[in-house]
């Protein structure tokens, strides 16, 4: 009942927002980067907190809203509400999180959702698959749901991003505020997980046991991974929201320990130590870390001929400082970076469109802007 009321309230807010703003584009601007000029325009408006984006084969876009609503947004910026979304724990950082499209969507209509699953006023990250038929989700199946012992009243560090490669789905779960559990292979917290696209557990997962959800673990020691994406060459990149300092960019590999909280470049929000160590044997170092923290969230690897000089670079969102950053990558190593878009709003996610344009999800108010390169006549 509460979720129905929340969704109806958000729907009324969307109508009110669009009536107030009409066709005004207060996001419009021209920005100059080190090597190219870009045009920023509003693409779609009227969201609460747009959290995840995924393009469909027909070039429309699915957008999750943290409130529990799923939208289908068309190229003209209009949108439809998708029905049949599972109930979510909408509190704090919890809600409807990421969305991804099955590689064979044109044949099977499957999409995947990450969300905070409610249970007796507690919650944990869950992964579901459903068929998208017109604007209705059907045959919803929960592919991953933790044992009830791991559910918590805490409303933070759910993760959760989805990345798909071949017949596998990878997804992140944050430490849920229980930092030591990121090092415990008997819990799902603070890990990247891998399943088959039908929810089965692959035999070659590194910690596969006879029972328990932990058989899905791919790697561990991750605080709150909110970015997860495969590059075309098969590298799995992860963006990890750190504490006060210590946001991380990692390359994720099978069975490795990424250290949290035994090693970290961050400190507690109140200024006290988390660990005496930034390095320990058997624990991976990040490709890069942001200290102080910029509060990272979504990410994308730019791989499109529209901006050829950016190919292979990583676009990173900043919630705290409200900008989009380009991390320049050369052979898996960060060699530089530049702030390419100062949004003036919390930047939640970034997605590359089919033609190479950049779509950025912003908060307060919830909206999506489209960034397109333009010819620099100067």
Report the catalytic residues: 157
215 to 84, 146, 166, 248, 285: CA distances (angstroms): 29, 12, 20, 25, 24
Residues contacting 203, CB < 8 A, separation 6+: none
Query: Residues 148-171, buried b or exposed e (16+ Cβ, 10 A)?
Result: eebbbebbebbbbbbbbeeeebbb
Nearest to 51 by CA among 353, 343, 297, 326: 297
Angle at 64 between CA 60 and CA 66, to 5 degrees: 160
Nearest to 69 by CA among 22, 119, 115, 129: 115
- Dihedral class, residue 323 (left if φ above 0, else alpha if ψ from -120 to 50, else beta): beta
Q: How far apart are CA 345 and CA 326, in angstroms?
A: 17
Residue 12, number of CB atoms within 10 A of its CB? 10
Which residue is listed with tokens 């559910």? 151
DSSP 213: G
């Amino acid at each position: 009942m509460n979720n129905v009321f929340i969704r109806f309230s958000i729907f009324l807010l969307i109508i009110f927002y669009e009536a107030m703003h009409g066709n005004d584009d207060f996001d419009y601007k021209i920005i100059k980067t080190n090597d190219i000029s870009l045009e920023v325009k509003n693409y779609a408006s009227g969201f609460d907190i747009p959290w995840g984006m995924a393009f469909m084969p027909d070039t429309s876009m699915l957008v999750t809203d943290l409130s529990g609503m799923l939208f289908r947004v068309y190229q003209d910026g209009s949108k439809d509400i998708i029905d049949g979304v599972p109930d979510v724990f909408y509190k704090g950082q919890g809600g409807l999180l990421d969305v991804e499209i099955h590689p064979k969507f044109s044949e099977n209509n499957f999409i995947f959702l990450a969300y905070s699953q409610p249970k007796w006023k507690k919650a944990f990250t869950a992964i579901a698959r459903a068929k998208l038929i017109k604007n209705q989700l059907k045959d919803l199946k929960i592919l991953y749901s933790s044992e009830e012992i791991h559910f918590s009243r805490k409303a933070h560090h759910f993760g959760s991003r989805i990345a798909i490669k071949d017949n596998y789905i990878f997804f992140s779960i944050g430490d849920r505020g229980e930092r030591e559990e990121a090092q415990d292979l008997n819990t799902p917290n603070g890990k990247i997980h891998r399943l088959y696209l039908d929810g089965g557990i692959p035999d070659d997962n590194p910690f596969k046991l006879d029972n328990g959800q932990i058989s899905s673990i791919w790697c561990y020691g991750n605080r709150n991974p909110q970015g997860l994406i495969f590059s075309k060459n098969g590298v799995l990149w992860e963006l990890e929201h750190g504490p006060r300092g210590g946001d991380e960019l990692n390359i994720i590999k099978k069975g490795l320990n990424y250290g949290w909280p035994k090693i970290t470049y961050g400190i507690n929000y109140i200024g006290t130590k988390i660990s005496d160590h930034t390095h320990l044997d058997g624990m991976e170092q990040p490709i890069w870390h942001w200290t102080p923290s910029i509060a990272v969230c979504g990410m994308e690897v730019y791989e499109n001929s529209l901006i050829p000089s950016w190919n292979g670079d990583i676009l990173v969102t900043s919630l705290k400082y409200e900008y989009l950053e380009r991390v320049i990558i050369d052979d898996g190593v960060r060699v530089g970076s530049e702030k390419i878009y100062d949004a003036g709003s919390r930047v939640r996610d970034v997605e590359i469109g089919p033609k190479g344009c950049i779509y950025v999800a912003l908060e307060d108010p919830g909206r999506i802007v489209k960034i397109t390169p333009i010819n620099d006549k100067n």
